[in-house]
C-alpha cells in the first residue's frame, strides 16, 4: 500500500483526518457514502488539500458531457494495479479530495465535471487530461456549451498546463478547447452527434461536414495528424487492435479508444490495457443485468440528447424497452431535451413510459409516431418474460437501481 511517501504539513494531516472521520461518521449515520461531506470538511481545514494530495501521483482527468464515468472506469481497470478514483461519481473537488484521502495509490483517475475542469487541472497538475465530447446537458443549470469550450481552452493553454491532452478530434468543440495546448494527442473516432457544433467556434460560419471530417472556411478544421484512429479496429501508434468489448455500443468503443490512448501516452502496453478493459461488463450498475420481479432488466443511463441517441442505436432488437424520465435538479428541470433525441429510431416498438415526466415522454413519442404506454403503476411490470432494456435519466436511474436487484 505505501506506494507513496507523502510529505504532509500538519494542517494537511489534520484535514485528511477530517475527511476520513467525517466520511466514516456520515456512513455510520446512514447518510450516503459521505464522500462529498468529508471532502468539504477537509477543504475547509486545508483549501489546498487537493493539490497536496495530488503531489507525487500520476493523475489522469476525464471530462466531457457523456462517457466520463465509463471512461474513468476503463482507465482504472486498464491501468492495472491499485488506482485511486472517485468511483461514486462525486466529480467535483470535494469528491476528488475524498477519493485521494481514501487511497495512497501512485496512480489516480479522476472523473471531472466539465465546469470544474479548470480548477481541477490547476489543483492536480495531471499527467493527462482526456476530453471526450461536449454537447448540451441540463441547460437550466449548466453553462452553455460554447462557453464551456472556451473555459477549457483557457485552462489548457501552455501558461497554465504542460501535461498531455488526449482529445476526440471528431468533435469540433473539443478541438477548439484542446488546440490551445501544445501537447495534444488527437484521437479520430466515429461520431453521430453534431447538433451542438453546427457553427464554427472561431468565426460562427457554418461548419462543413464531409464524410467523417469537418472544416470551416476560416481554416479551422478537423486535425489530420492523429495518434489513434478508431474504425473497425483501433489503431494506436503503428499497431492495430481488435476491441471485442463486453460493454455495448459504438460509444463505448469510442470511450475505449480515448482511454487506451491516454494509457499509451503513460507508457502502458496497449494490448495489455485492452485485455483488462474487456473484462468490464458493468459500470456503477450501468449495462449490467438486474432483476425486477420475473424480469431481467438491463439498465442504461441517458442524461442528454447525445447520450440517449447513442443508446438508441445500440438497442437489442428483442428486448422490451422501458424509458424512465425525471426532472429533478440533477436531471435538469426541463425535459424538453426529449425533442432533441431522434426517438423515431423507436418506431415499430411499444415503449413503456415511466418516471415523473412519463406523460411528457409519451407525448414526445406520440408526435414522433412511436407507439407508447404511460405506466402509472410500475409494479404491474414485474410480470412478463421478455428481457428489458430500461433507459433512464439520472435520478430515474437511481430509483430503478433501488427497485431492481442484482441477477
- Site residues for another protein per CB under 8 A: 136, 139-141, 144-147, 195, 198-199, 204-206, 333-334, 336-340, 359-360, 362-364, 366-369, 372, 374
Q: Which does 206 bind (CB under 5 to 8 A by kind): another protein, Zn ion, none?
A: another protein
Nearer to Zn ion, 218 or 233 (CB): 218
Q: Is 318 helix (H, G, I), strand (E, B) or coil?
A: coil
Closest CA to 92 of 74, 111, 105: 111
Nearer to Zn ion, 186 or 220 (CB): 220
Query: Applying CB under 5 A, which of residues 141, 202, 291, 382 lies at the interface with Zn ion?
Result: 202
Nearer to Zn ion, 21 or 206 (CB): 206
Q: Does 206 bind Zn ion (CB under 5 A)?
A: no
DSSP symbol at 286: B
The least distance separating another protein from the CB of residue 147, rounded to whole angstroms, comes to 8
Nearer to another protein, 43 or 174 (CB): 174
The least distance separating Zn ion from the CB of residue 218, rounded to whole angstroms, comes to 3
DSSP symbol at 355: S
Q: Does 200 bind Zn ion (CB under 5 A)?
A: yes
Q: Does 220 bind Zn ion (CB under 5 A)?
A: yes
228-230/184-188 β-pairing: parallel
Distance, in Å, from the CA atom of 390 to the CA atom of 354, rounded to the nearest integer, reads: 10
User: How many of the other CB atoms lie within 10 Å of CB of 96?
Assistant: 33
Q: Which does 386 bind (CB under 5 to 8 A by kind): Zn ion, another protein, none?
A: none
Nearer to Zn ion, 218 or 246 (CB): 218
Q: Which does 44 bind (CB under 5 to 8 A by kind): Zn ion, another protein, none?
A: none
- Please list the residues that pair with 300 across neighbouring strands: 391
The least distance separating another protein from the CB of residue 192, rounded to whole angstroms, comes to 16
DSSP string over 129-150: EEE-------TTTSPPHHHHHH
The least distance separating another protein from the CB of residue 198, rounded to whole angstroms, comes to 3
Q: Does 203 bind Zn ion (CB under 5 A)?
A: yes
User: How many of the other CB atoms lie within 10 Å of CB of 104?
Assistant: 16
Helix, strand, coil fractions of the chain, as percent rounded to 5: 40, 20, 40
Measure the CA angle with vertex 388, ends 382 and 389; round to 5°: 135
Q: Which does 235 bind (CB under 5 to 8 A by kind): Zn ion, another protein, none?
A: none
Contact present, 147 and 100 (Cβ < 8 Å): no
Site track 225-264 with Zn ion (rule: CB under 5 A), x = hit: ----------------------------------------
The least distance separating Zn ion from the CB of residue 151, rounded to whole angstroms, comes to 20
Q: Which does 364 bind (CB under 5 to 8 A by kind): another protein, Zn ion, none?
A: another protein
Helix residue spans in 102-189 (DSSP H)? 117-124, 145-156, 172-178
Q: Which does 218 bind (CB under 5 to 8 A by kind): another protein, Zn ion, none?
A: Zn ion
Distance, in Å, from the CA atom of 230 to the CA atom of 240, rounded to the nearest integer, reads: 9
Residue 176 grid coordinates: 477548439
Amino acid at each position: 500500500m505505501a506506494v507513496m511517501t507523502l510529505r504532509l504539513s500538519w494542517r494537511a494531516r489534520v484535514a485528511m483526518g477530517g475527511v476520513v472521520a467525517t466520511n466514516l461518521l456520515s456512513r455510520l449515520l446512514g447518510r450516503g457514502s459521505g464522500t462529498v461531506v468529508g471532502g468539504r470538511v477537509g477543504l475547509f481545514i486545508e483549501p489546498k488539500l487537493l493539490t497536496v494530495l495530488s503531489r507525487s501521483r500520476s493523475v489522469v482527468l476525464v471530462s466531457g458531457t457523456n462517457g466520463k464515468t465509463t471512461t474513468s472506469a476503463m482507465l482504472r481497470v486498464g491501468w492495472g494495479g491499485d488506482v485511486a478514483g472517485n468511483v461514486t461519481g462525486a466529480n467535483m473537488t470535494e469528491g476528488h479530495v475524498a477519493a485521494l484521502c481514501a487511497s495512497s495509490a501512485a496512480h489516480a483517475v479522476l472523473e471531472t465535471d466539465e465546469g470544474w475542469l479548470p480548477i481541477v487541472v490547476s489543483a492536480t497538475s495531471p499527467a493527462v487530461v482526456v476530453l471526450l465530447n461536449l454537447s448540451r446537458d441540463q441547460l437550466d443549470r449548466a453553462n452553455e456549451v460554447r462557453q464551456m469550450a472556451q473555459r477549457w481552452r483557457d485552462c489548457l493553454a501552455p501558461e497554465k498546463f504542460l501535461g498531455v491532452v488526449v482529445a476526440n478530434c471528431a468533435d469540433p468543440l473539443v478541438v477548439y478547447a484542446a488546440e490551445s495546448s501544445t501537447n495534444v494527442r488527437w484521437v479520430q473516432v466515429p461520431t453521430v452527434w453534431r447538433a451542438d457544433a453546427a457553427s464554427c467556434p472561431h468565426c460562427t460560419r457554418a461548419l462543413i461536414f464531409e464524410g467523417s471530417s469537418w472544416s470551416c472556411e476560416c481554416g479551422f478544421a478537423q486535425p489530420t495528424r492523429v495518434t489513434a484512429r478508431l474504425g473497425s479496429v483501433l489503431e494506436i501508434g503503428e499497431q492495430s487492435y481488435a476491441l471485442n468489448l463486453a460493454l455495448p455500443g459504438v460509444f463505448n468503443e469510442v470511450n475505449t479508444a480515448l482511454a487506451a490512448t491516454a494509457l499509451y501516452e503513460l507508457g502502458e502496453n496497449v494490448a495489455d490495457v485492452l485485455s483488462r478493459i474487456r473484462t468490464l461488463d458493468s459500470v456503477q450498475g450501468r449495462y449490467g443485468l438486474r432483476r425486477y420481479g420475473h424480469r431481467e432488466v438491463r439498465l442504461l443511463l441517458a442524461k442528454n440528447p447525445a447520450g440517449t441517441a447513442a443508446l438508441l442505436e445500440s438497442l437489442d432488437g428483442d428486448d422490451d424497452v422501458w424509458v424512465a424520465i425525471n426532472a429533478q435538479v440533477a436531471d435538469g428541470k426541463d425535459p424538453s431535451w426529449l425533442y432533441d433525441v431522434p426517438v423515431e429510431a423507436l418506431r415499430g416498438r411499444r415503449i413503456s413510459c415511466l418516471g415523473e415526466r412519463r406523460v411528457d415522454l409519451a407525448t414526445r413519442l406520440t408526435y414522433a409516431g412511436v407507439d407508447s404506454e404511460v405506466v402509472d403503476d410500475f409494479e404491474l411490470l414485474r410480470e412478463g418474460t421478455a428481457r428489458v432494456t430500461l433507459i433512464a435519466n439520472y435520478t430515474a436511474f437511481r430509483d430503478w437501481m433501488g427497485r431492481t436487484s442484482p441477477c
